[in-house]
Structure 1
Amino acid sequence: MTDVSVVVVSYNTSELTIRGLRTLLGTPSLASYEVIVVDNASSDGSADAIAAALPEVRVVRLAVNVGFGRAVNAGAAHATGDYLMLLNPDAEPVGDVIGAFLTFARAVPASRVYVGRTLDVHGADDGRSIYALPTLWGYLCFATGLSTVFRRSALLNPEELPDRPRDLAGPVPAGSGCLLLIDRALFTELGGFTPDYFMYSEDIDLSQRATAAGAVPTLVPDAKVLHVNGASSTSVGKRVMVLRGKTTYLRLRWSPARARAGRALLVTGIALRAAGARLTGRAGYWREVWSQRATWLPGWPAPAELPPVREL
């Protein structure tokens, strides 16, 4: 039995994917593992390039781009490991990240979900691997701009957990899918990622459901990657997708009344930033995000409206 199945979802990032996986495969590990790359119908020849450069990697080719969560689910269907390790294609491992995860997981098996650290190009923690679950207070802080002005305040920027030391192991509310280890039996029990999400917030959703099932998402400081954040997303496009993920989470996990309040606060926050961009002539992308509110407010389409996941 393999210890860990590493699942990477690739979309038009062949060079980054190959570079990151060469680092992973070239680092001696305490764990036995397999690597599964799920190519989301890339248009840049990623699947062929990865297969040619890394013949030891299994490449699963999807007929259409089905987003992150459903692609991970497709990769997990081929996995044989006790654990699944999710790794972004634009993430380059630092040291034996698989071994660091597995050693911790064997020492603390009851956690069942383990979150790594994402570092910027200077090697500093970028603060984006762990998050709080969404709350109305957090959205109120966003709506008023307080979470931006006082980003280092745990009270006024609760979502980013600015007071939580990233070099200290222990429970966290939710972890990023950029670098995440999960007991494969638990992943199967949960039905994998909720298929309603194309991208963003599916990892928050998974963390919430895992916690409800008795798991304890836990930060593992020694599991680290360098992360070229959002390499396959444009600035405006990424922000719109992030907001679609957030409103999908509200639709699925909050009561209708609470979800309406949450969406109203998100709208207020984006309107505030768009107005500020107009006045200052800076951060003009917020004006474009505001103009696309009819797209992000409803969230992602329900699964029944999506194309099926089909492998080539």
Structure 2
Amino acid sequence: MCDLSVILVNYNVKSYLEQALASIQKSLEGLKAEIFVVDNASHDGSVPMVRSRFPGVRLIVNPENAGFAKANNQAIRLASGRHICLINPDTLVREDTFRVCVAYLDAHADVGMVGGKVLNPDGTLQLACRRSFPTPWVAFTKVSGLSALFPKTRLFGRYNLTYLDPEQEADVEAISGSFMVVRKAVIDRVGLLDEQFFMYGEDLDWCYRIHRAGWKIVYLPDTQIVHYKGRSTHEASADALRLFYGAMALFVRKHFGRGFSLLPSWFLLAGIRVRGAVGWMIGLIRKLILPCVDLVFIQGALLLALLIRFGHLRHWMSYRIVDIVYSAVWLLCLAILGLYRRGVFSTSKAVWAVLIGLIFNASFTFFLPQYAYSRQVVLFAGLMNAVFLGGWRLAVRLASRMRWIPFLGTVGRTWLMRRAVILGTDSSAVDLWQRLKTRIASGYEVIGLVALKESDLDGGQPIPVLGTVGDLNRLVRRHQIHEVIFTTEAASYETILSVISMSKDLHIDYKMAPRDLDVLIGKTSVDVIEDIPLLDLDYRIYNPFNRILKRTGDLLFAGIFLILCLPVLVWTVLDPGIRWVSRRISDGQGGFFSLLEIRKKGQPAAGPLQLLPRMWAVFRGRMSLVGADILPYAPGTGGLGFKPGITGLVQFRSSETLDDAEKERMMLYYLKNYSVLLDMEIILRTLFH
């Protein structure tokens, strides 16, 4: 039996875990101890990092996220220590932390659990490191805000024991699950963590059972840890708020359902639900702020348009339903173009959204004139919306740079803060990350790196590696990423285009940094962050409006062709000399689809018979009329991220001998310069070639 078993439950916080294990190993010097890491199906390379950097750690790898309680119990069952320490992976411990806690438990036989002083990264005290059970009165003071108004009074400050001196040792009812050391004998008596609690509440429930069994729980400020609060739980789920209040309700039903009158139990549950509802409402209000600002400007534009057209506003009240429809169309267009995500204040996107909405609203006016404003009103309103909605976003961006107006500058930087990841894990990516992180006024919040392949996950980087390129869609949603930054040393054009295609439905922006890190290259604008200008990346084929136009053209052309060729289709089915076969074709994004072919007398058919199955693939959305070269599927190959086409720049020049570099340049040209007219030109040249 050893002195101490230290248990960490990890979920996608590799860099924090690495720092935590290093500090824990140093703090355990002089003790007989063992370390367990239970990994809850991380995707960020945590497991290979532990195996390579910390071979002495006992690693348990779960195939899925088992939750905090169940994962800790897995390790507790295997632990051989006299004492068990549960500690979060996003922590740093002092060199004496474990020796102080073990010595205290050995010297105080009546103490069952001890916890140290837990600090935030800025050095302030984390209030959750000592607290009381949520009895009806304690819960009321917390929900009503009395505990925040009168934190130093014993009557109102019991929730987080804020009336106690944080530098004084104290017997408490509960301590934080981020760091707790408990006797193994206590666990044998009261049982393991309750696995009904997936995340949140299990530590409070454990403390309650230990307290009821007659053991003391002590807050010990003689040692301390730093806790980067919320990193693991931030990674775990977007429903963290729901899980938290669900755990609190479970705790109340489990422990206060009996022994208290019906009213206090209902009071606690109602308080928890009210608190959860308030949190949900705050989140909803934050999401609605930008649409509400836009709605005010849209109404202002409509009123001005009516005033210009008629000289009065009497018609406005008569057309309230139409006003709602017009406003809804414009707001929907703004949302589709991603303008209601945090940090997106694109003037050009706002203007595009207004113009697209203007087309729909003008169509509504044309087809239903008896229910709509005049076309002049719609036109005036659309033009003013373009000015207003694009203009106020431009004003916010300019305000963020007005350091001589502190309020405006702070508001602008807060609204414009863009969350970004850097693609690559090589030295250029690390250097770029460090330089962007040191630019306080850059407007960027760089979350971490994204590895190009699995083997790069354990490169010993000093900064977070969130996952691989294959995880990008998940990472973008989980971390609310606005921009992906490429470095040319880490990513080829094929990789860049493949990533853009893979995440084209997420409405994120892309930037690229050349080798000398002087610029980040892209479409039309340059963001200068002191010595790092950032230039946007954009390929016209991925523009939502262009994608709709292209798909609509494919459907119309292919649909008409298939209808006209229906007799030929019937003949191919009835003719015994014709066979339909399929082969795997690369979809341009690393996958494949089955393309049908007609074979006549064992040979591939030509002319219309060759076009028939390909047009069916176009109609189904597997191919396009104009696209990339049709290539057989080979495992492990990527692509430039757009569909193969019946024709295209490469196919049109198939009689020439083109090497791979020339083909890539032609496809890049098509991606950057795509338009409906370019597609029509390629189709016409193919027909008359």
Task: Give the TM-score, by structure 1 length.
Answer: 0.83
Letter in 2 for 1:266: I
CA distance in structure 1 between the aligned counterparts of 2:288 and 2:191, rounded to whole angstroms: 39
Q: Distance between the aligned counterparts of 1:275 and 1:78, measured in 2?
A: 44
Structure-1 residue corresponding to 2:16: 16
Between 1:265-274 and 1:130-139, the stretch displaced more is: 265-274
After TM superposition, the structure 1 = structure 2 runs for residues 97-136 of structure 1, keeping only pairs within 5 Å, are: 97-136=97-136
- In the alignment, what sits opposite 2:468? none
User: 1:35 aligns to what?
Assistant: 35
Query: Alignment partner for residue 259 of structure 1, among 256, 259, 265?
Result: 265
1:154-213: CA deviation from partner (whole Å, max 9, x where unpaired)? 433421110122222231111111111111121122221011101111111111101111
Amino acid at match of 2:175: G
In structure 2, what is the equivalent of residue 188 of structure 1?
188
Write out aligned runs for 1:232-311 (5 A). Answer: 232-234=232-234, 237-255=239-257, 257=262, 258-272=264-278
Inter-CA distance 269–215: structure 2 relative to 1 (3 Å threshold): same
Q: Comparing 222-231 with 259-268, which one deviates more in the overlay?
A: 259-268
How far the C-alpha of 1:33 sits from its partner, in A, is: 0.8
CA apart distance, 1:152: 4.8
- Is 2:142 the counterpart of 1:139? no
Contact kept? 1:3, 1:83, Cα under 8 Å: yes
Partner deviation per Cα, 1:189-245 (whole Å, 9 max, x = no partner)? 222101110111111111110111121011122232110000123396433322121
The one-letter code sitting in structure 1 at the alignment partner of 2:251 is: Y
Q: Which has the higher contact order (CA 8 A, sep 6+)?
A: 1
Question: Per the alignment, do residues 77 and 34 of structure 1 end up closer, same or farther by CA in structure 2, a change over 3 Å counting?
Answer: same
In the alignment, the residues of structure 1 paired with residue 146 and residue 245 of structure 2 have an alpha-carbon distance, to the nearest angstrom, of 18
Q: Percent identity?
A: 25
Q: Which moved more, 1:106-115 or 1:40-49?
A: 40-49
Which SS does the other structure have where 1:44 is aligned?
coil
The residue identity in structure 1 corresponding to 2:272 is L
Structure 1, 235-244 or 86-95: larger mean CA deviation: 235-244
Cα distance change, pair 275–241 in 1 and its aligned pair in 2 (3 A): closer
Deviation at 1:273, TM superposition (A): 5.7
Which deviates more from structure 2 when the two are superposed, residues 166-175 or residues 230-239? Answer: 230-239
Cα distance change, pair 55–206 in 1 and its aligned pair in 2 (3 A): same
Q: Which amino acid aligns with 1:156?
A: F
Contact 2:10 2:232 in 1 (8 A): no
Q: Distance in 2 between matches of 1:271 and 1:206?
A: 27
Structure 1 pair 222/30, CA: closer, same or farther in 2 (3 Å)? farther
For residues 7 and 246 of structure 1, what CA distance do their matches in structure 2 show? Answer: 24
CA contact (8 A) 1:29 1:96 kept: no
Q: Specify the code of the residue in structure 1 equivalent to 2:116.
A: G
Task: Note the C-alpha offset of 1:283.
Answer: 12
Q: Which residue of 2 aligns with 1:85?
A: 85
Q: Partners of 2:47 and 2:22 in 1: how far apart?
A: 15
Which residue in 1 is equivalent to 2:94?
94
Q: Structure 2: which 5+ runs fail to align? A: 290-689
Question: In structure 1, what is the Cα distance between the partners aligned to 2:79 and 2:37?
Answer: 11
Partner of 1:174, secondary structure, is coil
Q: Report what 1:302 is aligned to.
A: none
C-alpha distance in 1, partners of 2:170/2:157?
Answer: 20
Q: Distance in 2 between matches of 1:123 and 1:283?
A: 34
Give 1:306's aligned residue.
none
Partner of 1:228: 228
Which one has the bigger helix percentage? 2
Contact 1:143 1:272 in 2 (8 A): no
Deviation at 1:272, TM superposition (A): 4.9
Matches of 2:247 and 2:88, distance apart in 1? 18
Rounded Cα–Cα distance in structure 2 between residues aligned with 1:10 and 1:85: 15
Distance 2:88 2:5 in 1: 14
* CA distance, structure 1, for counterparts of residue 283 and residue 36 of structure 2: 42
User: Aligned letter for 2:252?
Assistant: L
Distance 1:214 1:91 in 2: 30
Residue pair 1:51, 1:58 contacting (<8 A) in 2 also = no
Q: Residue 344 of structure 2 corresponds to which residue in structure 1?
A: none
Structure 2 CA distance for aligned equivalents of residues 28 and 63 of structure 1: 30
RMSD (CA atoms): 2.4
Amino acid at match of 2:233: S
CA contact (8 A) 2:118 2:226 kept: yes
Aligned to 2:200: 200
SS of residue in 2 equivalent to 1:195? coil
Give distance in 1, aligned partners of 2:283 and 2:188: 45
After TM superposition, the structure 1 stretch with the greater mean CA deviation from structure 2, 190-199 or 268-277, is 268-277
- Asked if the contact 2:28–2:99 (Cα under 8 Å) also holds between the matched residues in 1, the reply is no
Distance 1:199 1:273 in 2: 18
Check whether the contact 2:118–2:225 (CA below 8 A) recurs between aligned residues: yes
Q: Normalized against structure 2, the TM-score is what?
A: 0.39
Mark the CA change 1:283 to 1:275 in structure 2 (over 3 Å): closer, same or farther: same
SS at match of 1:232: helix
Determine if contact 1:211/1:217 at 8 Å carries over to the other structure.
Answer: yes
Secondary structure of 2:36's aligned partner? strand
| Distance (Å, rounded) in 1 between the aligned partners of 2:143 and 2:212 | 29
Between the aligned partners of 2:243 and 2:282, the Cα distance in structure 1 is 21
* Residues 28, 115 of structure 1: alpha-carbon distance in 2 compared, 3 angstrom cutoff: closer
Secondary structure of the structure 1 residue equivalent to 2:128 = coil
Name which of structure 1's ranges 69-78 and 251-260 shifts more when overlaid on structure 2. Answer: 251-260
* Shift in CA distance, 263/115, structure 1 to aligned 2, threshold 3 Å: same
